[in-house]
Amino acid sequence: MVSLTDGQKATLSPEAIEFLTNIHHVPFAQILAPFIASPRRVPELRRGLVEKTAPGEAALIEKYGLVVEVVNIAGLSVAIITPANVKPEKQNKLVFNVFGGATIMGSPRDRGALTMAAELGVRVCSPDYTKAPEGRYPVARDQCLAVYRELIQKGLPGTSHSPSAPPVPINPADMYAMGSSSGAQVLVSMLLVARREGLPMPTAGLYLCTPALDLSGAGDSMTFNARDRDIMPVSLLTTMVTQNYVPLPGVEVDGMGFGGTTDPLYSPLYADYGNEDGAAPWFPRTVMTVGTRDFALSHGVRFYWKLREAGVEVELLVSEGMWHGFNWNPKVPEALTARVAVV
Amino acid sequence: MVSLTDGQKATLSPEAIEFLTNIHHVPFAQILAPFIASPRRVPELRRGLVEKTAPGEAALIEKYGLVVEVVNIAGLSVAIITPANVKPEKQNKLVFNVFGGATIMGSPRDRGALTMAAELGVRVCSPDYTKAPEGRYPVARDQCLAVYRELIQKGLPGTSHSPSAPPVPINPADMYAMGSSSGAQVLVSMLLVARREGLPMPTAGLYLCTPALDLSGAGDSMTFNARDRDIMPVSLLTTMVTQNYVPLPGVEVDGMGFGGTTDPLYSPLYADYGNEDGAAPWFPRTVMTVGTRDFALSHGVRFYWKLREAGVEVELLVSEGMWHGFNWNPKVPEALTARVAVV
């Protein structure tokens, strides 16, 4: 249960207060986490999330006249979300979206993808990567990379929006990329590998929403926002990841052994974003959102300084009293403010 | 006592860990605050601070060859700190500094003023305003405003650096302004009144360090950083302010009754920073620093959004695991990084 003092309520919208005071945490999360988040229980967790989110997603599709289609790119199902009115200056633009869900849950046509298509007036392309435990690290990253590579090299296949149009390679300068929560881990890891491969970056802008970028457990907010401040106890989230997503012992990753939880591709906060002396930064312009109640506050804070020191154009938007994943809340004004600030 | 988990230590410098683990809080602060912070005890609190800070200040003066002089401006003693080497491009520049100290303590030639003169290579002008309880709100604000007005209109009196030079009005475009902690409250309130008077703003830049901008007690971090995370329990700080700085009942403020702790000049977070439609923002370009352990985190976060929505150019630098007033720590690398980012 999330509790709020009068001083905390004074700086929140009524909608945010209602949201927070209606959060009910699993009791004894720290003790029960290994059972709740065991691989056997994952299908049930996924069903629970779908039940909770489906009505909101249907409402968004209806309200904004969004068209959701599935195409095959690089052998993977990919959701293409087309807004009723693509803004004229955004006809050629595309958001490459990596959904989140603690690595084990979530959907390529989730609230985040739908909201961005609707509010930004731009098409969203969202790979339906294999979630954990069926796909442990780096399966999702490699699947997303294959889709990204094909978009850049071959283009987007035809949809009902332009059924007869042959695929045209997407100009990286027209591509935004977006990752929420664990989706940001997949996305930034993907960009690091794309860079090694010599692929161009999505330079229209990178948007990381309450990003999970350090899966080692480090960070100030991983302690102070761990229990009764965020939407979920951190112990539950970390157990989801350690029991389902971490490579199994002895499995090769990227042609070598797994480098542990601070491996710079597994926890992209430990990677190097610098460039040769004098060269322009290679990492795209980045906007991040975090909340002060968010377990990922420290992830955002640390990644901000890391990118800044590498000369990358970066902005960190910290929102008062906001929680993990708050960006996509349709009712909370603080979320709308953060979304407006991105565009 | 400030405690740290392994996960928190992992993202801090060894110097920061040493600093934090050596903090010892007054026990039973919430109960003892009214006694510790009573007006009768203020002289002792000031002496304690001087004893603690004098050696560090002397070391800074020695190390950087700073010249500290006192001049009279608008009837007030004002410290002028001149670095050994004023950078050529900064000969005409001046930092207008308002020191902090929970409204009851502090010095115009404190570590912050000395550090900025040394590291920025620019002269600092720092009014020795009357602290509380001798000067309750708005005494400090009005004294600083009188000094600011005279600097703009008449100029800086001669110092040993330029003894025979007649005072030359300071060009507001050459003036930086800086306020730390409660000094930020005084400074921003001063700028709001200066604006009403039609005085020009210090447009070289505004620097607010772990700023206290809401003296009403509101804010998420006022709760979650209240006890064992920051350098001092919030209960002690707020009692210092409520027992010494708040205007006494029935006293006129600005020609009227005091508007309470959310009065927009007393708690500048509640003021309006907008301008007429289409007009350029009137508030100067602002850089703020806060830390994730800082009770003022939410002050910085909320002021960031307030200024941003008014179209002001504003940057909020959030530092991982840092505490209130961390900016001026000479040994902690995180503090140096934040200072470098300002210039």
ipTM of the complex: 0.95
Residue at token pair 């409660």: B182
Average pLDDT of the residues of chain B: 94
CA-CA distances (angstroms) from residue B317 to A26, A47, A318, B97, B340?
35, 40, 10, 19, 11
d(CA B294, CA B304): 16
| DSSP code per residue over B217-282 | S-SHHHHHTSSSSSSS-HHHHHHHHHHHTSPPTT--BTTB----TT-TTTSGGGS----STTSPP-
For residue B21, the model assigns a pLDDT of 95
d(CA B51, CA B132): 19
How far does the CA of residue B74 sit from the closest CA of chain A (Å)? 39
Question: Which pair of structure tokens corresponds to residue B246?
Answer: 């708040």
Dihedral angle, C-alpha B255, B257, B263, B266, nearest 10 °: 60
Angle (CA) B339 A301 A19, round 5°: 135
For residue B287, the model assigns a pLDDT of 97
Question: Which pair of structure tokens corresponds to residue B199?
Answer: 């005085």
Q: Which amino acid type is present at position B233? A: P
Question: Which pair of structure tokens corresponds to residue A134?
Answer: 């069926």
d(CA B292, CA B179): 19
Mutate to test the interface with B, among A5, A11, A306 (most CBs of B within 10 A): A11
Q: A307: helix, coil or strand?
A: helix
- The percent of residues in chain B predicted with pLDDT above 90, rounded, is 85
Question: Who among B301, B320, B341 is closest to A220 (CB)?
Answer: B320
Q: Does B304 touch chain A (CB under 8 A)?
A: yes
d(CA B121, CA B130): 28
Query: B29: left (phi > 0), else alpha (psi -120 to 50), else beta?
Result: alpha
- Please indicate whether, in this complex, the C-beta atoms of A318 and B341 are within 8 angstroms of each other: no
Residue of B nearest to A217 (CA): B7
Q: B208: helix, coil or strand?
A: strand
Please give the helix or strand (H or E) that residue A35 lies within, else none.
helix A29-36
**Chain A hits for B5, Cβ within 8 Å:** 223
- Please indicate whether, in this complex, the C-beta atoms of A318 and B320 are within 8 angstroms of each other: no
- Please indicate whether, in this complex, the C-beta atoms of B293 and A220 are within 8 angstroms of each other: yes
**Chain B hits for A305, Cβ within 8 Å:** 319-320, 337
| DSSP code per residue over B154-191 | T-PPP-TTSTTPPP-PPPGGGEEEEEETHHHHHHHHHH
| DSSP code per residue over A153-172 | HT-PPP-TTSTTPPP-PPPG
Q: Which amino acid type is present at position A49? A: L
Residue at token pair 């954990």: A132
CA-CA distances (angstroms) from residue A98 to A78, A106, A176, A211, A254?
11, 10, 11, 11, 20
d(CA B181, CA B101): 7
CA-CA distances (angstroms) from residue A40 to A25, A29, A37, A44, A134?
21, 18, 8, 8, 11
Higher pLDDT, B273 or B252: B273
Q: Does A218 touch chain B (CB under 8 A)?
A: yes
For residue A278, the model assigns a pLDDT of 85
Mutate to test the interface with B, among A4, A215, A220 (most CBs of B within 10 A): A220
For residue A230, the model assigns a pLDDT of 96
Rounded to an integer, what is the distance from CA B154 to the centroid of its chain?
A: 25
Mutate to test the interface with A, among B12, B216, B220 (most CBs of A within 10 A): B220
d(CA A88, CA A81): 17
The stretches in chain A having pLDDT less than 70 are: 1, 343
Half-sphere exposure of B183 (CA within 13 A, CB side): 28
d(CA A143, CA A206): 19
How far does the CA of residue A220 sit from the closest CA of chain B (Å)? 5
Exposure class string for A296-328: b at 16+ Cβ within 10 A, else e: bbbbbbbbbbbbbeeebebbbbbbbbbbbbbbb
CA-CA distances (angstroms) from residue B28 to B24, B25, B34, B165?
12, 9, 11, 55
**Chain A hits for B302, Cβ within 8 Å:** 11, 320
Residue at token pair 């630098």: B317
Q: Does A72 touch chain B (CB under 8 A)?
A: no
Residue of A nearest to B338 (CA): A305
d(CA B173, CA B248): 38
Q: Does A320 touch chain B (CB under 8 A)?
A: yes
For residue A122, the model assigns a pLDDT of 92
Query: A112: left (phi > 0), else alpha (psi -120 to 50), else beta?
Result: alpha
How far does the CA of residue B81 sit from the closest CA of chain A (Å)? 30
- Please indicate whether, in this complex, the C-beta atoms of A318 and B301 are within 8 angstroms of each other: yes
**Chain A hits for B10, Cβ within 8 Å:** 216, 218-219
Residues of chain B by 3-state class (helix, strand, coil), percent to 5: 40, 15, 45
Q: Does A237 touch chain B (CB under 8 A)?
A: no
- Say yes or no to pLDDT of B163 above 80: no
Angle (CA) B184 B151 B87, round 5°: 80
For residue B343, the model assigns a pLDDT of 59
- Please indicate whether, in this complex, the C-beta atoms of B302 and A320 are within 8 angstroms of each other: yes
Q: How many CB atoms lie within 10 A of CB B90?
A: 18
In 3D space, the residue among A308, A311, A319 whose CA is nearest the CA of residue A342 turns out to be A319
Higher pLDDT, A277 or B265: B265
In tens, the pLDDT along A222-280 reads 999 999 999 999 999 999 999 999 999 988 898 888 989 999 999 999 999 999 888 99
Query: For residues B223 and B110, is the Cβ–Cβ distance under 8 A?
Result: no
Rounded to an integer, what is the distance from CA A296 to the centroid of its chain?
A: 12
- Per-residue pLDDT averaged across B39-66, rounded? 97
d(CA B301, CA B318): 9
In tens, the pLDDT along A160-192 reads 777 777 788 899 999 999 999 999 999 999 999
Instruction: Compute the radius of gyration of chain B from its Cα atoms.
Output: 19
CA-CA distances (angstroms) from residue B202 to A149, B34, B96, B293?
50, 38, 8, 30
Task: Let me know if A69 is exposed, middle or buried by CB neighbors in 10 A (0-12, 13-18, 19+).
Answer: middle
Query: For residues B246 and B137, is the Cβ–Cβ distance under 8 A?
Result: yes
Residue of B nearest to A318 (CA): B301
Mutate to test the interface with A, among B222, B225, B308, B320 (most CBs of A within 10 A): B320
Number of inter-chain CB pairs under 8 A, A vs B: 91
d(CA B312, CA B145): 22
Q: Which amino acid type is present at position B64? A: Y
d(CA B338, CA B319): 8
A1-15, B48-62, B151-165: segment of lowest average pLDDT: B151-165
Q: Does A90 touch chain B (CB under 8 A)?
A: no
Q: Does B299 touch chain A (CB under 8 A)?
A: no
pLDDT confidence tier of residue B33, bands split at 50, 70 and 90: very high
| DSSP code per residue over A258-289 | ---TT-TTTSGGGS----STTSPP-SPPEEEE
Q: Who's near B40: CB < 8 A, 6+ residues apart?
A: none
Distance separating the N- and C-terminal Cα atoms of chain B: 34
